[in-house]
Structure 1
Amino acid sequence: MYCKISGNTSPTAQTVVLSSGLGGVHSFWQPQMAMLEKYFRVVVYDQYGTGGSQGVITSGYRMEDMADELAGLLNSLEIDRCHLIGHALGGIIGLHLAKRYPALLESLVVINGWTVLDSQTRRCFNVRQNLLLNSGVEAYVQAQPLFLYPADWLSAHSDLLQQEQQHQVAHFQGMENLINRLQALMASDLSDILSSIYTPTLAFGCKDDLLVPWHCSTALAENLPHGEHVQMAYGGHAMSVTDSTTFNPILEQWLLRFAPQAPAANDTH
């Protein structure tokens, strides 16, 4: 799989891995990179079947498969311990990873994730799937920001969204890949495994998230032995992009709790 490694080169620097949502590509994390690279070696990757990680995904694909793929990537990079930050699907990959490979994770952050699919999330996913199947890729991509961003942010960033839409259509992961990844996500049910996940986990929620109601993150944290919850008031489903000035300091504080000796980028000792 395609990955990129950047950030702190100190031999004592710990590793942070970033796992994006249904889009699957690493560019989602640009608003967090500068902050993370001060302290950590940062690994971003394109999930299998997306972006630079070309491949065909067939029916029967599971979230556990995505977790195994990430574990394989980390093994190939000789990373045996890391912090994982995952957005939605990426966070659910992290939870499956914590269950299947518990020694791999120092800490976990799940942004707008869930235990089992909420009826509102299912409704949104069904609409998006129907758009893709019945109206095509351009209609799917054009509608996608409505589920990610608040209305005022959409209005203020019209030119940027137009550029992103053109890029996403040109680099679309493929209808079959997206549908099978979406079906895997919708079928995931963590109810029976959360109590056995002991990785310290921060569940981020957002009050105005249209796609994943905020109570899903609260319930997720409550059912994890070492779960904590933070709720932002604004930013929509992609609040790490739309309100990174609020999001980033919370993330930084969490990570430094579990990497208290993290060297600053200019620390040469």
Structure 2
Amino acid sequence: MHIELSGRSDPEARTLVLSAGLGGLGSFWLPQMNALRAAYRVVVYDQRGTGRSADSLPDGYSMQDMADELIALLDRHGIERFDVIGHALGGMIAMQLALDHPQRVERLVLVNGWLQLDAHTRRCFRVRQDLLLNTGVEAYVRAQPLFLYPADWLSEHQDRIEAEDALHTAHFQGMENLLKRLHALMSCDYSTQAARITQPVLLLCSRDDLLVPWTCSERLHAALPNATLQQMNWGGHAMSVTDSTTFNHHLLTWLQHTERSPETVDMELIWLKP
């Protein structure tokens, strides 16, 4: 599996592991990299079966497999303790890691995540799956930005979107791989296990997310013992791309405040100011 390590290399630096969503590519986090490298050791990777981690996924592929693959990858690079920042599917991987390796996962950031699949999100995934199976890869790729970005942002960035369409079509992860990863994502359910995740957690969501209702993050907030919820009003499902300035501010502010022991931080006071 392809992995990239950057940022600080001194022993005192905390390690942030960034895990992307269904696309699986580490490059999803490019708008965050400069902001994070100055203070942290940053790890990005292409998930198995995507990008530069090309592979054929086995039948029955699961979220547990994705978490096991990531921990094995970190082991090979001597990374013992770390924080995980996960977007959607990447957030599910983060929660699985926190459950399986609580002594190693120190903090989590879950971006547009959920406990169990919302009925609306299921409908969106089924539409995308039908496009892929019945119309083909190009139609699936063309439709993808509609679920990720706000309409006004899409209108102003058509040249960029068309270039991304061509790139994603040329480097598509493969129909079988995508369907197996999508099935794993749609099947996972952390509603009965969330109370066991006691690490500090930041929940970031956007209220105009077309794919994952912002109320999913509210349900996560209620279920996780040590969570902070921060909502953005605009940015869509991929608000880390469309409004990276606001997103990065919220992310860095929370990371800096939780450098101290959670017992010494009043999490409610952090977000009194917008």
TM-score under structure 2 normalisation?
A: 0.93
Q: Distance in 1 between matches of 2:36 and 2:221?
A: 24
Cα distance in 1 for partners of 2:258, 2:207 equals 27
Aligned twin of 1:112: 112
Paired position in structure 1 for 2:149: 149
Summarize the alignment of residues 105-144 of structure 1 with structure 2, pairs less than 5 Å apart: 105-144=105-144
Instruction: Please list, as runs of the form range in 1=range in 2, the aligned pairs for 1:204-223 lying within 5 A after superposition.
Output: 204-223=204-223
RMSD: 1.1
- 1:106/1:258 contact within 8 Å kept: no
Q: State the distance in 1 between where 2:227 and 2:73 align.
A: 26
Q: Which runs of 4+ in 1 moved over 6 A?
A: none
Please give the alpha-carbon distance, in whole angstroms, between the structure 1 residues aligned to 2:172 and 2:103.
35
Q: 1:76-225 alignment to 2 at 5 Å?
A: 76-225=76-225
Q: Is the 8 A contact 1:58 1:176 kept in 2?
A: no
How many angstroms apart in 1 are the aligned matches of 2:75 and 2:82? 11
2:71 aligned residue: 71
One-letter identity of the residue aligned with 2:15 = T
Aligned partners of 1:12 and 1:196: how far apart in 2?
28
How far did residue 197 of structure 1 move?
1.0
Tell me what 2:254 maps to: 254
Q: Would you say the 8 A contact 1:25–1:46 is kept in 2?
A: yes
The aligned amino acid for 1:62 is S
Partner of 1:35: 35
For 2:244 and 2:3, the matched residues in 1 are separated by 23
SS of the equivalent of 1:39 reads: coil
User: What secondary structure, in the 3-state scheme, does the structure 1 residue paired with 2:152 have?
Assistant: helix
Q: How many equivalent residue pairs?
A: 261
Match of 1:14 in 2: 14
- TM-superposed CA distance for 1:199, in Å, is 1.4
Which 5+ residue runs of structure 2 have no aligned equivalent? 262-274
Deviation at 1:215, TM superposition (A): 0.3
Shift of 1:260: 5.3
The verdict on how the C-alpha distance between 1:227 and 1:260 changes in structure 2, with shifts beyond 3 A counting, is: closer
Q: How far apart are residue 257 of structure 1 and its match?
A: 2.2
Task: Give the conservation status (yes or no) of the 8 Å contact 1:14–1:259.
Answer: no
* Secondary structure of the corresponding residue to residue 38 of structure 2: helix
**How far does residue 201 in structure 1 lie from its aligned partner after superposition?**
0.8
1:9: Cα distance to partner?
2.5
Higher relative contact order (CA 8 A, sep 6+): 1
Q: Deviations over 1:185-217 (max 9, x none)?
A: 000110111011111111111100000000001
Unaligned 5+ runs, structure 1: 262-269
SS in 1 for 2:103: helix
Q: Partners in 2 of 1:187 and 1:227 — Cα distance? A: 24
Tell me the SS of whatever aligns to 1:53: coil
Equivalent position amino acid for 1:184 in 2:
A
Q: Secondary structure at the match of 1:86?
A: strand
- Aligned residue type for 2:219: A
**Match of residue 267 from structure 2:** none
Secondary structure at 2:24 match in 1: coil
Partner Cα separation in structure 1 for residue 254 and residue 77 of structure 2: 25
Query: What is the Cα deviation at residue 255 of structure 1?
Result: 1.1
Q: Secondary structure at the match of 2:203?
A: strand
Q: Does structure 2 conserve the Cα–Cα contact (< 8 Å) formed by 1:7 and 1:36?
A: yes
In structure 2, how many angstroms separate the alpha carbons of the residues matched to 1:260 and 1:197?
19
Deviations 1:170-197 (A, max 9, x none): 1000000000000000001101110111
TM-score by length of 1: 0.95
- Report SS of the residue matched to 1:102: coil
